[in-house]
Structure 1
Amino acid sequence: MSRRGPRPNPHRRPLFRTSVPTVLLATVGLLALSACGSSDSGPRLELSAALPDAAADGTVLRVGDPATQVALETSGLVDDLDIDVEWANITGGPKTLEAFRADAIDIGSVADIPPLFAHWTGTDVRIVAARETVDPAEHPTYELGVAPGVDVARIEDLKGKKIAYSPGQAQGALVLNVLREAGLTQDDVELVEMQSVDDAFSVALASNQVDVAPLGQSLVKTYLAKYEQDGATTIPPGVRDDAWTLYAPTSVLEDADKAAAIKEYVGLWAQAQQWISENPDEFAQAYYVDHEGLSPEDATYVVDALGEFTVPTDWDDFITRHQQTVDTLVKEQDQEPLDVETLYDRRFEKAIAAAVEGS
């Protein structure tokens, strides 16, 4: 558990007091951790009620958001947190949803697809914060990796290709959006279903299990460094892919103390995103080098590729784009229709606006 501490040296590896180590991400481990990580429930709060201003003493917020943890600690913004935070080294949609279901964390940081699949697979959740890229056309979150020896120079060349496809992750929706943009359908390609975990997509490309796979910017540089000499390439996706969210189980938001803690956290989260954009070199060292193990050169490449972030204080446009993605998934994956705005808890929209305007 971590609350406050001295500002760490960005050139040294931070000390992470994590409640859910990576090696314990199996369901059994998460179930065991949930017993020791949970705190007593606070008063029940209706989802239509105003958010409380402060959590009761002793409230612990369990957060799966390692990038923001690093940003808060490195920037010193962590000193502004008045709540106790228990950090979990959990990222990605599948692991975050598993942690929710095991009652191991209260809030997680993911792209826009995991909250949809949480809903569609029976876990009641709400989105409490949103982030996007200042210039998404110039700074895509993903590029399409092309296997050595495969000729793909533009998205229209995807016809007839084997494409790595992860239905419940952002990469899966990206593939469907790219196909739509290229004037293609699923019948025009071969979708090879697999989860995008660690470097699974890079390995699949290198071994020619697939012809094309979406790669996050942290993998693009290393993929090309290893295989460009063999003919590997990447191309831009040609569609917007920069949506990012914080989301939480509805049961957490119905706990008045947890909801108050999240209200405070999302305000500092928004300021941390701004700090990342304004201090890319410091964040590259602290997160991508010290925490993720990238080389300094690769870390700089990633932060430059991702560009600057912005946290909208009016969610209307963000929700409209999210609904377009939902409609694509309903059509292409035969999902149940969904009014995506019902997943957004807009009480936190106001809390974020107040935090950003007051920072």
Structure 2
Amino acid sequence: MRRSPRKPLVAVLAAVLVAASACGSEDAGSTLELTAALPDQVPSGTVLRLGDPQIQAVTAVSGLDKELADAGIQVEWANISGGPQSIQAFRADKLDCSAVADIPSLFAAWTGTATKIVFQAVTLDPLDHPLYKLGIAPGVNVTSLADLRGKKIAYSAGQAQGALVLRVLQKAGLTQKDVQLVELTSTGDSYVTALGTKAVDVAPIAPQNIKLYEAKYPGATSIGTGIRDDASTLYCLTSAVEDAEKAAALKVYVSVRTKALLWQNEHPDEYAKAFFQDTQRLSEADAKAVVALQGRKGIPATWDNAITRLQETADLLAAEQNHDKLDVTTLVDRRFEAVQAAAAGSQVVTGDAA
């Protein structure tokens, strides 16, 4: 009688392969569920690839970089900031996290890149210390938001500046049809150059660029928006927070980043020199002036208000730019909320400023 051993042999081999695969997965590093607690232990040599130039400078001058090294974290810093650069780096798998405002997380979702916000910061007096003012080209008469009608306005749909332009129009009772939006990505001093050469009449520019602009172009002016624009986040690839080793490292980094922002508040001159003077190449006087314009930063006790503001922005952009409706709670990893609040301690911000 002929025997056929094939069936049991296949079953045995399958069992061996499953066991080997399980061991191999464990050796390669485990996947962390997004609902699981953040790990406390960081395996030595865990790498974080961060686009966070400001905090890079602050941790170095404050000595907080030692906390990262002592935790066994190897940081690979990238000179990347802003939505377009960071999303491009995410797609190329060259970056884990980047410091941005609130808009890039929305556009990452709308363009198929999965990310999570792991850090929220606020400005303590946001209307007194806006991140942007409206630069006005020399010879252009704009003294109020109502004067924007008919003007050429620099506009970058995927950046915070673009969302601000839409919010400004909304506040002024204007629509996109009442102005001419000029598609122009804000990188470096591109908006300053566009204003100076009169390629646009109006552009939202940051405090350090306002000073550069007004010094470089005679007749240059600027006005405030009267709109809160202080959203400040760190967002990461979802795959990074799903990696148990990187998630443990990010838990440490979020704590260190919190301390770095609070250190800035207490050491404005050192902060001005380390970042704006030594890195951004501003003069000592201009560096100190920019820090004063920025105001003091705070860590909110809860992210509730920030999430509400983000949802309002997402709804506006969905309506104005023809995007799908988006539930922003899916973009926020609130496990890190308690991490930064604990690091801030009694200095957490509550009330309207949060």
The question of a shared fold, defined as TM-score above 0.5 by the shorter chain, is answered with: yes
1:273 to 261, 267, 282: 261
1:93 CA displacement: 1.2
TM-score, scaled relative to structure 2: 0.88
Contact 2:258/2:299 (8 A) holds in 1:
yes
2:38 maps to amino acid? L
Partner of 2:60: 73
How far, CA to CA, are the matches of 2:244 and 2:344 in structure 1? 23
Asked if residue 207 in structure 1 is aligned to residue 197 in structure 2, the reply is: yes
1:58 CA displacement: 2.0
Larger radius of gyration: 2
2:82 to 83, 92, 95: 92
Contact 1:130/1:312 (8 A) holds in 2:
yes
1:116 CA displacement: 0.6
Aligned structure 1 segments of 4 or more residues deviating by more than 4 angstroms: none
Contact 1:64/1:108 (8 A) holds in 2:
yes
1:358 CA displacement: 8.4
Q: Relative to structure 1, is the Cα distance of residues 358 and 260 closer, same or farther in structure 2, using a 3 angstrom cutoff? A: farther
Question: What are the ranges of 5 or more consecutive residues in structure 1 without an aligned counterpart?
Answer: 1-39
Asked if residue 47 in structure 1 is aligned to residue 34 in structure 2, the reply is: yes
Alignment of 1:79-228 (within 5 A): 79-81=66-68, 82=71, 83-227=73-217
Give the share of equivalent positions with the same residue, in percent: 55
Contact 1:221/1:301 (8 A) holds in 2:
no
Post-superposition CA distance 1:45-104 (Å, at most 9, x none): 111111111221221111110100111111111122212212111111111111111111
Partner of 2:246: 258
Quote the RMSD (CA, aligned, Å): 1.3
1:250 CA displacement: 0.7
Question: What are the ranges of 5 or more consecutive residues in structure 2 without an aligned counterpart?
Answer: 1-26, 348-354
Asked if residue 314 in structure 1 is aligned to residue 313 in structure 2, the reply is: no
1:331 CA displacement: 1.0
2:203 maps to amino acid? A
Partner of 1:21: none
How far, CA to CA, are the matches of 2:57 and 2:83 in structure 1? 20
1:287 to 275, 283, 292: 275
How far, CA to CA, are the matches of 1:211 and 1:86 in structure 2? 40
Asked if residue 332 in structure 1 is aligned to residue 323 in structure 2, the reply is: no
Contact 2:299/2:341 (8 A) holds in 1:
no
How far, CA to CA, are the matches of 2:129 and 2:44 in structure 1? 42
SS of the residue corresponding to residue 311 of structure 1 reads strand
Q: How many residues align?
A: 318
1:215 CA displacement: 0.4
Post-superposition CA distance 1:243-294 (Å, at most 9, x none): 0100101111111000110011001101101111221111101110111111
2:283 maps to amino acid? S
How far, CA to CA, are the matches of 1:102 and 1:166 in structure 2? 22
Question: Which stretch of the first structure deviates more once superposed, 50-59 or 261-270?
Answer: 50-59
2:30 maps to amino acid? P
